[in-house]
Amino acid sequence: MAEFTAGQRIVGLKSGYLVGERLGEGGFGLAFVATADDGRRVVLKQLRLARMGDWKAMELFEREARVLAALAHPNIPRCHEFFATDGARAVDPGELSGLTGDASLVLVQDHVDGASLAAWVAASTRTTAAQAEALLRKLLGVLDYLHGLHPPVVHRDIKPGNIVVTAAGEPMLIDFGAIQDRARRDSEVGSTSVGTFGFFPIEQVLGKARPASDLYALAMTMVVVLSHRQPDELPLDPSTSKVDVREACPGLPERLTRALDGMLEPAVGQRLASARDVLAVLDGEVLQPQAADIPVPKARSLPAIVSRVPLYTGGAAALLLYGFFFDAFSESELVSLSFLWLIPLAFGLGARLNDSIGGGLRWAVGATLLLGAFLLLVFPAL
Q: What is the pLDDT of residue 355?
A: 80
Measured CA to CA, the distance from residue 210 to residue 191 in angstroms comes to: 20
- Provide the b/e sequence for 201-236 (b: ≥16 CB within 10 Å): bebbeeeebebbbbbbbbbbbbbbbbbeeebeebee
Amino acid at 324: F
pTM of the model: 0.69
Same-domain check for residues 236 and 319: no
Cβ(222)–Cβ(249) below 8 Å: no
Measured CA to CA, the distance from residue 162 to residue 155 in angstroms comes to: 10
Q: Assess if residue 319 is contained within a domain.
A: yes
Same-domain check for residues 31 and 98: yes
Q: Per residue of the chain (382 residues), what is the pLDDT tens digit? A: 788 999 999 999 999 999 999 988 754 478 999 999 999 999 998 888 876 655 666 776 677 677 788 899 999 999 999 999 988 899 998 888 778 778 888 999 999 999 999 999 999 999 999 999 999 999 999 999 999 998 899 998 999 999 999 999 999 999 875 434 443 444 333 333 455 778 989 998 888 899 999 999 999 999 999 999 999 999 999 988 899 999 999 999 999 999 999 999 999 999 999 999 999 999 988 765 544 444 545 556 678 787 788 888 888 888 877 777 777 777 777 777 787 888 888 888 888 888 888 888 898 888 888 878 877 776 676 5
Same-domain check for residues 146 and 246: yes
Amino acid at 40: R
Measured CA to CA, the distance from residue 42 to residue 5 in angstroms comes to: 15
Same-domain check for residues 107 and 199: no
Q: What is the pLDDT of residue 191?
A: 34
Q: Which residues contact 174 (CB under 8 A, 6 or more apart)?
A: 77, 112, 162, 163, 164
Cβ(325)–Cβ(316) below 8 Å: no
Same-domain check for residues 103 and 167: no
Q: What is the largest CA-CA distance in the chain?
A: 117
The CATH code of the domain that includes 62 is 3.30.200.20
Same-domain check for residues 70 and 107: yes
Which helix (DSSP H) or strand (DSSP E) does residue 357 occupy?
Answer: helix 357-373
Which helix (DSSP H) or strand (DSSP E) does residue 60 occupy?
Answer: helix 55-69
Same-domain check for residues 200 and 310: no
The CA-atom distances, in angstroms, between 165 and each of 132, 159, 168, 259, 308 are: 12, 13, 8, 22, 76
Q: What is the pLDDT of residue 288?
A: 55
Cβ(134)–Cβ(171) below 8 Å: no
The CATH code of the domain that includes 157 is 1.10.510.10
Q: Assess if residue 122 is contained within a domain.
A: no
- Provide the b/e sequence for 241-280 (b: ≥16 CB within 10 Å): ebbbbeebbeebeebbbbbbbbbbbeebeebbbbbebbbb
Nearest Cα to Cα of residue 278 among 97, 77, 122, 138: 138
Q: What is the pLDDT of residue 43?
A: 94
Same-domain check for residues 180 and 94: no
End-to-end CA distance of the chain: 98
Q: What is the pLDDT of residue 53?
A: 59
Range of the domain at 83: 1-111
Same-domain check for residues 243 and 138: yes
CA 111 to chain centre: 30
How many other CB atoms are there within 10 angstroms of residue 106's CB atom?
26
Q: What is the pLDDT of residue 42?
A: 96
Q: Assess if residue 189 is contained within a domain.
A: yes
Same-domain check for residues 87 and 13: yes
Q: Assess if residue 90 is contained within a domain.
A: yes
Nearest Cα to Cα of residue 265 among 222, 215, 207, 223: 215
Measured CA to CA, the distance from residue 211 to residue 12 in angstroms comes to: 33
Q: Assess if residue 192 is contained within a domain.
A: yes
Q: Assess if residue 299 is contained within a domain.
A: no
Length of the chain: 382
Q: What is the pLDDT of residue 186?
A: 40
Q: Which of 288, 317, 334 is a domain's end point?
A: 288
Q: What is the pLDDT of residue 185?
A: 43
Residues paired with residue 110 on neighbouring β-strands, in sequence order: 42
Cβ(110)–Cβ(42) below 8 Å: yes
Q: Which of 288, 318, 334 is a domain's end point?
A: 288
45 among the known binding-site residues? Answer: yes
Q: Which of 81, 111, 141 is a domain's end point?
A: 111
Same-domain check for residues 104 and 141: no
Q: Which residues contact 32 (CB under 8 A, 6 or more apart)?
A: 4, 6, 19, 20, 21, 22, 23, 43, 44, 46
Backbone angles phi, psi at 215, to 5 degrees: -65, -40
Number of domains in the chain: 3
Q: Assess if residue 254 is contained within a domain.
A: yes
Q: Assess if residue 294 is contained within a domain.
A: no
Same-domain check for residues 140 and 264: yes
